[in-house]
Structure 1
Amino acid sequence: MPDLGPLWLSLALAAATTVLLLLFGTPLAWWLATTRSRLRPALEAITALPLVLPPTVLGFYFLILLGPASPVGAFWVQVTGEALTFSFSGLVVASLFYSLPFMVQPLQRSFESIGQGPLEAAASLRASPIDTFFS
C-alpha cells in the first residue's frame, strides 16, 4: 500500500490556502482597486514579489523571517509553543504569500473594470461598503 501522507498534506494545504485566499485576497483586491491611499503602490509591489523572485529565494527569506530567531518566529513560538518553520502553519503562510498575486491581481483588474458608476449609485442609496461589495 503506498504512503498517501504527502497527498493528504498537499490537499489540506491547497484547501487551507484557498480558503485563506478567499478571506484575505478578495478584500485586499477590492481595497487596492478602490483606494487612493499612498500605501497602494507598496502593497501592489509586495503582492507581486512572488512573481519576481525565484521560489528558492522566497523560501530562504521565509526561513529567515519565520525562524525562531526572528521577531515573528519568536512571537509565534511564544504564543503557540511550536516553531513556524517546517510546520503545517508555516507551509500555509508561505503558500498563501506565494499564491497571493494569482488571486489579487486578476480580481483587482476586474474590480477596476467595473468603474465608479455602480459604486456611486450604491453609495447614493446609502449602501454600506459591505453591501456595495456583495451587490
Structure 2
Amino acid sequence: MFALTHEELQALWLTVKLASLVTFILLLISTPLAWWLAKSRSRFAPSISALVALPLVLPPSVLGFYFLIAFAPQGPIGQLSQWLGLGSLAFSFTGLVIASIVYSLPFVVQPIQNAFSTFPHEQLEAAATLGASPFKVFYSVVLPNVKVGLITGAVLGFAHTVGEFGVILMIGGNIPGETQVASVKIYEYVEAMDYSQAHRLSAILLVFSFVVLLAVYRFQKKVSVTGRD
C-alpha cells in the first residue's frame, strides 16, 4: 500500500541527484567566498554579502521569474548557451542546477563564513612563521578546524535544495524525468486533488527534513560539549 509509483521514485531520485550536485558545487564555490567575506576589509564586501544573502528574503517566484527571463532563448544567458551549443537552459535539468546554486548559496556560505570568522588569527600567524604557504595553511590548518561549519553548510544546502519549489517550478516546469522533483510532484497531486498521494510523498520529505535537522543539531551539540571541531 505504501509502495511508490515509478513517477514518484523518479521524482525522488531527481531530487536527490539535484541536491547532491548542487551541494558539491556550492562547497567548491562557498568555501573560498566565505573565507574572503570573513577576512576581507574591502569596501565591496558588504555589497557582496548582501548579494549572497538576497535569496533569504527574495520571494522564490521573483528569483525564478528573472532566471526564466535570462534563460529563455531570447535572454542573455539563453542566447549564450545556445551559441555555445548547450541548448536552452529554461525547462532543463542544467537550468535547475544553476538556479538552485544561487537559491541555496546563503545557506552554505553563512555557516562556513561564521566558522572562518571565529578561527583564531594566531594559528595563521604561527603556521606562516613556520614557512607554510598560504594554500598549505588554508588546507592543512584552517579547513580541518572549521569542519563543523563545512558540514553544517553542506547539510543545510542539501536540505534546502530538496525543499525547493517556487524557483524549480518557474525554471523547470513539470517535466517527468527531467525537472519534476518531489516538491513539484506533490503540487501536481494537490492540483489534481489527490490528497492521499500528496500526503504520502509529503510525509517522506517531512521525515527526511526532520532527520537532517536533528542530525545537524546533535552534531553541533556534541562538538560544543567536547570542545572539538
Shift of 1:20: 0.3
Instruction: Please give the residue correspondences for 1:22-101 in structure 2 after superposition, counting only pairs within 5 Å.
Output: 22-101=27-106
2:195 aligns with: none
1:8 aligns with: 13
Higher relative contact order (Cα pairs below 8 Å, separated by 6+ residues): 1
Shift of 1:60: 0.6
Unaligned runs of 5+ in 2: 142-229
Shift of 1:81: 3.5
Deviations 1:92-128 (A, max 9, x none): 0111111110100111011011132222222222322
Q: Give distance in 2, aligned partners of 1:93 and 1:119.
A: 34
Q: Give distance in 2, aligned partners of 1:95 and 1:117.
A: 37
Number of matched residues? 135
TM-score (norm 2): 0.56
1:108 aligns with: 113
Q: Give distance in 2, aligned partners of 1:119 and 1:68.
A: 48
Q: Give distance in 2, aligned partners of 1:55 and 1:9.
A: 20
Question: Which range moves more in the overlay, 91-100 or 29-38?
Answer: 29-38
- Structure 1 stretches of 4+ moved >3 Å: none
Give the % identical residues. 53
Q: Give distance in 2, aligned partners of 1:54 and 1:18.
A: 21
Unaligned runs of 5+ in 1: none
- Over the aligned positions, Cα root-mean-square deviation in angstroms equals 1.4
Rg (Cα) greater in structure:
2
Q: Give distance in 2, aligned partners of 1:77 and 1:12.
A: 24
Letter in 2 for 1:106: P
Question: Which range moves more in the overlay, 39-48 or 115-124?
Answer: 115-124
Letter in 2 for 1:2: H
Q: Give distance in 1, aligned partners of 2:39 and 2:124.
A: 10
